[in-house]
Chain A
Amino acid sequence: MNVLTVSKIREGTVIDHITAGKALEVLKIIGIKSGSKERVSMAMNVESRKMGKKDIVKVEGKFIGDEELNRISLIAPRATINIIKEFEIIRKFNVSLPREVEGIIRCPNQNCMSNDEKEPVKSFFRIEEEDGRVIARCEYCGKKVYDIGRFLV
């Protein structure tokens, strides 16, 4: 059986074991949006032995820092990162939860300071686990965000 749904890349980052359906949010987290120049391929809802179904994202020609990659855990806690050089995996790791994130989550509280466009302020969230769920807590107003994927900037 051919499991390779997306072709091999020479150099770049493969993000595997993304929670099924979350690939687009992962792209958002690592800063890939319409107009981006990188070569990106992805597969959604493909079979996975470990997870039933999963998404995969491959990014060529862009260096992504570990801090940025670890943010993926906010929406896809089981994601694995593979760094590729000359078609070979030179490094592999599981994403781990950041303790805090700046700028990438938008506070759902309209009256929060971090949503005031006049002010030089960036959102800032502390990441916590509550009953096994990942939540983000706004440093400014204290609001808890349970569905982080919905509130990515």
Chain B
Amino acid sequence: MSKIRHLISIDDLSRQDIEYILKKADNFVEVAKGKKSLKILSGKILANLFFEPSTRTRMSFETAMKRLGGDVINLGSLEATSLAKGESLADTLRVVQQYADCIVLRHQREGSARFASQICSVPVINAGDGAGQHPTQTLLDLYTIRMEAKLKNLKIAMVGDLKYSRTVHSLIKALALFNAEIYLVSPELLKLPEEILEVDARFIESDLKTAIDEVDVLYVTRIQKERFPDEEEYRKVAGSYKITSDMIEGKDVVVMHPLPRVDEIAYDVDRLKNAVYFKQAFYGVPVRMAILSEVMS
């Protein structure tokens, strides 16, 4: 395995690379909780370049960096930036890399992070490139699975919008490297696209009830109203993919969600030990710590 310099796409990582990052994240769980101090990035500066809105990704990168003793600079409001004055992304990057040791980029254009990695001499981490990739999300999903269930011989059900959810597509590709058995639970209109079905994994079409009894993890995604011809159809379909506490209480299955949720997981699920979606958000911190320390060491 070669050292990871930029993190652009989960497809660039081998199974060994992924295992390496996840293992590295173990060292940072206590640090991420603030229970242990480890200032290995002190003196380093991270530039958060978010050209698109973000709360969780941006804040968790910031937390990760700061807990490791580093500092963070931000783009600030978009209207106030040089981009509003027509500066190209390329020039913005060439300038910002003069100020920082690493760049985290979210930008609306697909391939923008790849482009940035070609331009920049400092490491670039992709935090979402339009409809493209969001590799740290996939890694934190994998880490959550590893911590709250298991990565070996995993059975996982993908629930909800499997057609448009890129989070699901990336996760499936990564899970294929681990020989997971993947249950697909979605309405007819939102089935997994052909090209993802071509990845080398075992797929099983299922209904929610069966899946809950069979799998270790339910990965729930939001079904969006815009995908349906009319509101009534949407309500009917969305309602039948909603997770409530009586469906899972006492069962050996954990529930994940990339968040934000709307009403696909009832609030009464939160109190169950099956609910791991907030932990999942937490695991974003140690995973990002692992990545930051890897690319900046």
Q: A: which residues have CB within 8 A of B?
A: 109, 111-114, 116, 118-121, 138-142
Contacts and interface: CB of A to CB of B under 8 A. Distances in A.
25 contacts: A109-B110, A111-B109, A111-B110, A112-B110, A112-B111, A113-B109, A113-B112, A113-B115, A114-B111, A116-B89, A116-B109, A118-B86, A118-B88, A118-B89, A119-B90, A119-B115, A120-B90, A139-B111, A140-B114, A140-B115, A141-B110, A142-B11, A142-B110, A142-B111, A142-B132
B76 interface: no
A140 B111 contact: yes
Contacts of B90: 119-121
A121 B114 CA distance: 11
Q: Determine chain A's interface SS by DSSP, over half rule.
A: loop
Contacts of A140: 110-111, 114-115
Contacts of A118: 86, 88-89
B103 to A, nearest CB: 15
Contacts of B112: 113
B13 to A, nearest CB: 15
A139 B129 CA distance: 14
Contacts of B115: 113, 119, 121, 140
B108 interface: yes
B88 A113 contact: no
A111 B88 contact: no
Nearest to A140: B111
Closest 7 CB pairs of A and B: A140-B111, A113-B111, A141-B110, A141-B111, A113-B109, A113-B115, A118-B88
B114 A111 contact: no
Interface in B124-178: 129-132
A111 B130 contact: yes
Size class of B's contact patch?
Answer: 10 to 19
A84 to B, nearest CB: 40
Contacts of B108: 111
Given A113-B115, A121-B115, 5 more contacts: A111-B109, A112-B111, A118-B89, A120-B90, A142-B9
B88 A120 contact: yes
A37 to B, nearest CB: 34
A42 B110 CA distance: 40
B89 A111 contact: no
Interface string B69-112: 00000000000000000101110000000000000000011111
A18 B9 CA distance: 38
B189 to A, nearest CB: 23
Nearest to B86: A118
Contacts of B11: 142
Contact of A119 (B9, B89, B110, B129): B89
A120 B119 CA distance: 10
Contacts of A121: 90, 115
A120 B93 CA distance: 12
Contacts of A112: 109-111
A131 to B, nearest CB: 11
Contact of B132 (A116, A119, A120, A141): A141
A112 B132 CA distance: 9
A61 B109 CA distance: 42
Contacts of A119: 88-90, 115
A111 B88 CA distance: 16
B111 A138 contact: yes
Contact of A113 (B86, B114, B131): B114
Contacts of B111: 112-114, 138-142
Nearest to A123: B111
A41 to B, nearest CB: 40
